Structure 1
């Protein structure tokens, strides 16, 4: 059916090719008239070099074609399009008339008014500041003279980098004033509602700190900025000089609106906690839309004008709402209804974008998306209210359960108190009886305490003597233990009790190394101060810092120092006959490490034995310090 209508319209328009273009008589216009089909003719200038003298000449006059659609549009973005309309003036009406272009996103409009000396050009378009317009209106409004009873042909040249429609309307000044007043009144109500809803949700967020209030407020702000940008209100009132920003404002505002719509749906539907897969789908839609925006801004600029891409995030939010509603989450129903209404508005807007024949053009269809936004705002507010209602019900149920539990606790507490009071009475009677018995026993104890005090004095004197004997015994045991370690075989546990940590080992090594007082190995000076490492000594004269392990068998070793001590003890006690495998088994160290270090110990013992400086009775610590050469 659609193809038949297009073919019929094309054939009908072609029948008039070569015939005179009909003129619109002002005397027959009741307020306004939209130029369409045969009344508006166009010429495609692919080179963009034709002038008004060219297109108005007889050679080019026959090349104009009537529009086959209700509103002609630029099929090729790089081409310029010349249009012409004919108007039969009626000066007897005493009425002022204007020509208005509904599409305020056109980049450049050169309007040519015929005079006795040729054509006068007036330039309009959104590439000029708003103050350059003769009439301060959101659309491009061009006054025309109605001073002669003649038929006048007006030419205008359109050029735009994005899709532009030549929606040209002839209006009387009175009708324009009346229509503009009503239109701006509607804008005031629409944007006022957005402002009130946004401020209300901001106050609610400040009061209850629920994220969906903030997300809904940001969504409304995005919708409001988009609608103001798309309607031209923002360019008129908010940024009349920001020409470049005005090109990008609708797309960026719509991106923000769809983004916050996604996260608002996720918050209202509680997807993060209850349905994580749907929340990941929300994040995926957000990532896709963000990547699309970045690509359209920096790589493929033609994509920035694609508006129906917003169907993707809204469809994902709509699907999430339907899924949650189907699962019994009642707060989702208003969100689904709201997004359904918005989807209807988007479909109607897309239909206008693609010039579907079944979609009539008019004020209702032009502002259909705005009406849908108003209804959607109401239903999304209902969704928030329903969510709050559910939260209140859940809170009330939780409070009832808490109160019931408190009552049960009180009953248990009262029963327990009665039981405890009875037990207290019984215990009190027993205590009274026992108190009398205790008083009698206390009297006996006082007498016994007197005797014990005397005995305590005698015991204290004996303890003093025993403490002295105990100290002497501990000293003797330590000497015996040290002597046993120096001369006999002991296990690692007993050895570690004598040398439990690095500090005790280093102190023991320092006492052996410098038992004959300190002498600097560089300059021989005897005065020193504490060095950087534990128990090291720094020469006061030359500053040489000698660590406690330097010039000892422990120099440059990486073994734990108490295990290194025990290995020296084992090798020394066995006269070097113990194997590296045995040492590895005892110490829990790799066999290769035990072999390397035991070889070093054996070499030291061999050199001491060769110089006659090794005496077994001196003990294993006699080989710790290297002899000075």
Structure 2
């Protein structure tokens, strides 16, 4: 019974479909309210409300007769939608000649843009145009780039006078007009009449925004469209590169995923508006058809990763993290099957996944906001704005909302708002961290001022010659010593925070970069060889995954202990500048000495398994060595890049080995 009702809904006109679906949702809502209603009563209510909806739909099927499109002297442009009729070719037997010779169940459109949602079968449209003006040269414009199979038949006097085969199944240059939309020039003498039959089929939503424009109207419209799209894509590119530079300077992971999300969403919109097929891959027919579904799922994955990284869901909201991992897996499966799957299902599945993606982001942001994170308010509002635009676009493509400027471009507006607010959220995140550091520095300065004031007071009291004053001096002196002690401890704490790695006790990334730059300049002045060893723990991720962060930290400590045992020269410097990476700066050490030390490091780590109480883990390291005689100042980054390149070669060779790179200073 429900299958028959579903088929009836799908063949109703668009407005009636929305009425029936809305009534069905209302029925489900009413059913869930009274928990005490029995099962039989629920089924009865559902049947009655659906029956009422179908009755109202059937009573409203009487439509006015469709009229032909009249072109007058005062018109430069005319919308064909209200003059259209459409027909579902469910059994794929329709052809232009069969439609001219036989009568089928044409449905009147009566809307400016017919929107029939996703269809698995061809859909035919037709309308008539009569010219009562003086212009004879016109253009039929289909403002919808995403059509795979598009056949346009021009009929005059029930004879086919011209045929245009268009769509994504053909290369872009095969179009009569090289434009992102489909433009078909035609001539129509004054007093003459033409009839257009349009057949569309493909994996995208079936929408038919058709207008008839003369050359001037087409040029004016395209000027505005290109300007607005240029502003949008320019904004996306600027935001993407701006945050890319921020990522390169701060190394904050959320910036990286934000940049990925920005560029992928921009490219997705570039495809949606037809610019990608026109500019980037005009001859790649197969990829153009697949690109929408592939980019949609890539956008979903990048958004999930950004939300997880920004909100730290694994620790803060575990259930949200698990849900995100689940939906990432779904999108990965969709990407893996995209080359073999029909584009219809890839795209529709992605459209359906948009809703949970944005809901998870908004809910996660609201929870973080409620817990006191100031940056979460920008995050939540940004994703809500994108949710509104994305929902409008999704409901538009599903055929549940009409296509207009709001539903078609709402996602772009929401994306602009989202990208702007997310930039504010990231900036607020950095600002909060800086404020915390500033508060600590202000406290240290306050302690220093207190110490100076106490010292001045002590000097004043020294001038007075009495026992009472001497006792006061001693008391003030004790206060001074206490303040100075606290100041000294605070300075040491600041220095440790800035220079020492909290896990291993060796230098951190700040001290590594400072010492590397200093030793480079010193070696350049003294004409000495400078060597750099980069040590990366091969199975750090496995240890972290199998035994947790405590075991992985112990493993790092053991490696640091081995390095400190092997390296004894005061001038040599050991630091940890990555999750699992150590750097060893060896001034005055040539390539032979550095290579020998690197081999000892590999052997020592391999010979000493780490006992964590619950298990013994055999660790190994990949070591990269680079040596250089500096010939220019301030070029230490070349040495670091060479050593890291050597580490990469060592890991690519299976790990537990040493690779050496010699560079020119």
> Shorter-chain TM-score: what band?
0.5 to 0.7
1:318-365 deviation digits (Å, cap 9, x = unpaired):
211111001111110001000010011012112312333xx5542233
Higher strand share: 2
**Counterpart pick for 1:65 among 89, 107, 115:** 107
Which residue of 284, 289, 310 maps to 2:354?
A: 310
Normalised by the length of structure 1, the TM-score is 0.59
- Which of residues 79, 85, 95 in structure 2 aligns to 1:34? 79
Q: How does 1:159-174 map to 2 (within 5 A)?
A: 159-174=201-216
- 1:278-427 counterparts in 2 under 5 A? 278-295=320-337, 298=340, 302-306=344-348, 307-356=351-400, 359=401, 361-403=403-445
Aligned pairs, number: 409
Aligned to 2:78, what secondary structure does the other structure show?
strand
Partners of 2:301 and 2:328 within 8 A in 1? yes
SS at match of 1:93: coil
More moved, 44-53 vs 342-351: 44-53
1-side partners of 2:344 and 2:390: how far apart? Answer: 20
Measure the CA separation in 2 of the matches of 1:352 and 1:241: 29
SS in structure 2 at match of 1:56: helix
Greater mean alpha carbon deviation, residues 21-30 or residues 205-214 = 21-30
Counterpart check, 1:99 vs 2:140: yes
Aligned position for 2:36: none
On the 8 A contact 2:79/2:112 being kept in 1, the answer is no
Change (3 A) 1:154 1:334: same
Partner residue in 2 for 1:109: 150
In structure 1, distance between residues paired with 2:94 and 2:432: 67
**Paired residues of 1:103 and 1:164 also in contact (CA < 8 A):** no
Tell me: CA distance 1:298–1:246, structure 2 relative to 1, closer, same or farther (3 Å). Answer: same
Task: State the Cα deviation string for residues 379-418 of structure 1 (Å, max 9, x = none).
Answer: 1111011111111111112223444567789999x969x9
> Which of 64, 67, 90 is the matching residue for 1:46?
90
Is the CA contact (8 Å cut-off) linking 1:97 and 1:145 kept in structure 2? Answer: yes
Higher mean alpha-carbon deviation, 81-90 vs 122-131, is at 81-90
Matching of residues 186-201 of structure 1 within 5 Å: 186-201=228-243
Question: Does 1:264 find its partner at 2:309?
Answer: no
1:14 to 46, 52, 62: 62
CA contact (8 A) 1:105 1:164 kept: no
What is the CA distance between 1:152 and its match in structure 2?
Answer: 2.0
> Normalising by structure 2, what TM-score?
0.56
Q: Cα distance 1:276–1:185, how it changes in 2: closer, same or farther (>3 A)? A: same
Moved more, 268-277 or 46-55: 268-277
Q: Is the 8 A contact 1:268 1:387 kept in 2?
A: no
Q: Looking at CA atoms only, which structure, 1 or 2, has the larger radius of gyration?
A: 1
Residues 584-620 of structure 1 show CA distances to partners (whole Å, capped at 9, x for unaligned) of xxxxxxxxxxxxxxxxxxxxxxxxxxxxxxxxxxxxx
Structure 1 residues 174 and 150: CA distance shift in structure 2, 3 A = same
Alpha-carbon distance in structure 2 between the residues aligned to 1:218 and 1:283: 18
In the alignment, is the contact (CA less than 8 A) between 1:269 and 1:331 conserved in 2? Answer: no
2:636 alignment partner in structure 1 = none
Other-structure match for 2:608:
none
Any idea what the Cα deviations from partners look like across 1:68-122, whole Å, max 9, x if unmatched? 77644667845333321111113x4226321122232221122112357743211
What is the RMSD of the two structures over their aligned residues, measured on CA atoms?
3.3
Deviation of 1:235 (Å):
0.8
Deviates more, 1:213-222 or 1:2-11: 2-11
Q: How far 1:27 moved relative to its partner?
A: 0.9
Q: How many angstroms does 1:170 deviate by?
A: 2.2
Q: 1:467-546 counterparts in 2 under 5 A?
A: none
- Report the CA distance shift for 1:6/1:369 in structure 2 as closer, same or farther (over 3 A): farther
Shift of 1:258: 2.2
Q: Do the aligned partners of residues 249 and 299 (structure 1) sit closer, same or farther apart at CA in structure 2, a change above 3 Å counting?
A: closer
**1:2 paired residue among 13, 19, 24:** 19
Could you say what secondary structure the match of 2:207 adopts?
coil
**1:513 aligned residue:** none
Cα offset, 1:196, TM superposition: 0.6
Q: Which residue in 1 is equivalent to 2:220?
A: 178
CA contact (8 A) 1:130 1:241 kept: yes
Decide whether aligned partners of structure 1 residues 12 and 29 sit closer, same or farther in structure 2, where only a CA change above 3 A counts: farther
Seen in structure 2, the aligned counterparts of structure 1 residues 247 and 10 have a Cα distance that, compared at 3 Å, is: farther
**Range with greater deviation from structure 2 (204-213 or 217-226):** 204-213
**After the TM superposition, which residues 81-230 of structure 1 pair with which residues of structure 2 at under 5 Å, given as runs?**
81-90=123-132, 92-94=133-135, 96-114=137-155, 118-230=160-272
In structure 2, distance between residues paired with 1:365 and 1:73: 12
In structure 2, C-alpha distance between the alignment counterparts of 1:415 and 1:278, rounded to whole Å: 57
Gap change, CA 1:140 and 1:301, over 3 Å in 2: closer
Q: Secondary structure at the match of 2:328?
A: helix
Residue deviations 1:20-45, cap 9 Å, x none?
Answer: x41110018744333335x2123333
Residue 283 of structure 1: CA displacement? 3.0
SS in 2 for 1:156: strand
- After superposition, the C-alpha distances for 1:551-606 in whole angstroms (9 at most, x for unaligned) are xxxxxxxxxxxxxxxxxxxxxxxxxxxxxxxxxxxxxxxxxxxxxxxxxxxxxxxx
2-side partners of 1:277 and 1:233: how far apart?
40
1:184 deviation in Å?
0.8
TM-superposition CA deviations, 1:308-327 (whole Å, max 9, x none) = 31222222122111110011
DSSP 3-state at the match of 1:149: coil
Deviations 1:472-505 (A, max 9, x none): xxxxxxxxxxxxxxxxxxxxxxxxxxxxxxxxxx
Query: Which of residues 287, 290, 293 in structure 2 aligns to 1:245?
Result: 287
Query: Within 1, Cα distance between the matches of 2:318 and 2:451?
Result: 38
The Cα of 1:217 is off from its aligned counterpart by 1.0
How has the CA–CA distance of structure 1 residues 299 and 129 changed in structure 2, closer, same or farther, with 3 Å as cutoff?
closer
Identify which range, 307-316 or 334-343, moves more after superposition: 307-316
Residue pair 1:103, 1:167 contacting (<8 A) in 2 also: yes
Separation (CA, whole Å) in 1 of partners of 2:271 and 2:402: 24
CA distance in 2, matches of 1:111, 1:300: 24
The alpha carbon displacement at 1:274 in A equals: 4.8
Q: Larger relative contact order (C-alpha < 8 A, sep ≥ 6)? A: 2
Instruction: Call closer, same or farther: CA 1:115–1:86 in 2, change over 3 Å.
Output: closer
Within 1, Cα distance between the matches of 2:226 and 2:243? 25
Q: Structure 1: where are the runs of 5+ without partners?
A: 420-629
- Residues 343 and 384 of structure 1, relative CA distance in 2, 3 Å threshold: same
Describe the shift of the 1:409–1:260 C-alpha distance in structure 2 as closer, same or farther (beyond 3 A). farther
Cα distance change of structure 1 residues 292 and 115 upon mapping to structure 2, 3 Å threshold: closer
Contact 1:285/1:316, CA 8 A, preserved across alignment:
no
